[in-house]
Amino acid sequence: MAFPGPLPGGIRPLAGNEAVILFKTVREDIQAVLARDPAARSTLEVIFCYPGLHALWFHRLAHLLWRRKLRFVARLLSHVSRFLTGIEIHPGAEIGKRFFVDHGSGVVIGETAEIGDDVLLYQGVVLGGTSVKKGKRHPTLGNKVVMGTGAVALGAIAIGDEARIGAGSVVVRPVPPGATVVGVPGRIMADHPAPLMNLEHGTLPDPVAEAIRFVLREQDKIDERVRALETAGGVTFFRDESEEKVVIQAVFSQGGGI
């Protein structure tokens, strides 16, 4: 059953089933925040104090207007949302269920971005384009994707279900499902399913540090072989113990970062 009477500007009112779906979606959005943020203590707090949730609700309305060809009104609403929340979501972007932006200031989501269900984005995440041409030019995120603080995905690439993008990473190539990506440019460090709520970004691997540790290990092996050869030949072995080398070894011999 539809709501009676047309609205100003020729906007068609929501039908009864659409209103039910909208109410269910809003309830799921609130539950997603309560489930994923340990700082959320009550439904009332979530409704009034979470700009990520407000930006999502603004977007759901703006996207509805966008699909009904009310493009200027949709863009204006998204602009107001950006001013109020610090989160920029183009009304043309497609966003699935239970989407959550945590501490969302600086998040930017482009026009042709597509986001699946149960996706989690942190502060400063950008889903950007790399082309000025019309058509698909922004990333597609699968279900249960997690993107850490400051992570950037550029271009019409696909990021598979349950992939994790480490904080500060820049992704410019497709990511398979379940992979963990870190670094600039982003490199795949793990290719296995990961739990959605694994938020220990400090435990993510560092590809640069791994490369340096590998070089240090190989250098130690070469030093040992040279020492053995020089000892056999009666030559005094000289081992480089410069302060700079000692510092580098001390820093990168550890498994984690500072």
Q: What digits encode the pLDDT tens for the residues 94-113? A: 999 999 999 888 999 999 99
In a domain? residue 3 = no
Final residue in a domain of this structure, among 162, 184, 203: 203
Residue 253 near residue 216 (C-beta atoms within 8 A): yes
Which tokens is 208 given?
Answer: 């640069």
Residue 137 near residue 130 (C-beta atoms within 8 A): yes
The predicted structure's pLDDT at residue 212 = 73
Q: Please state the rounded mean pLDDT for residues 181-210.
A: 65
Domain co-membership, 186 together with 212: no
In a domain? residue 222 = yes
In a domain? residue 1 = no
Domain co-membership, 29 together with 118: yes
The predicted structure's pLDDT at residue 242 = 62
Domain co-membership, 213 together with 169: no
User: 240: number of CA atoms within 13 Å, CB side?
Assistant: 12
**Domain span at residue 229?**
207-252
Domain co-membership, 44 together with 100: yes
Report the chain's C-alpha Rg in angstroms.
Answer: 25
- Report how far residue 42's alpha carbon sits from residue 229's, in angstroms, rounded to the nearest whole number: 70
The predicted structure's pLDDT at residue 237 = 59
Domain co-membership, 136 together with 216: no
Domain co-membership, 153 together with 230: no
- Report how far residue 117's alpha carbon sits from residue 98's, in angstroms, rounded to the nearest whole number: 6
In a domain? residue 258 = no
Q: What digits encode the pLDDT tens for the residues 150-185? A: 999 999 999 999 999 988 999 999 999 989 898 888
Q: How many domains does the chain have?
A: 2
In a domain? residue 48 = yes
In a domain? residue 90 = yes
Residue 65 near residue 80 (C-beta atoms within 8 A): no
Residue 253 near residue 213 (C-beta atoms within 8 A): yes
Buried b / exposed e across 43-54, counting CB within 10 Å, b at 16+?
eeebeeebbbbb
Q: Please state the rounded mean pLDDT for residues 145-152.
A: 94
Domain co-membership, 27 together with 152: yes
Domain co-membership, 131 together with 113: yes
| Domain at 170, CATH number | 2.160.10.10
In a domain? residue 2 = no
Domain co-membership, 229 together with 128: no
Domain co-membership, 158 together with 30: yes
pLDDT band at 253 (very low <50, low <70, confident <90, very high): low
Domain co-membership, 72 together with 23: yes
Domain co-membership, 189 together with 239: no
Range scoring the smallest mean pLDDT among 1-5, 57-61, 67-71? 1-5
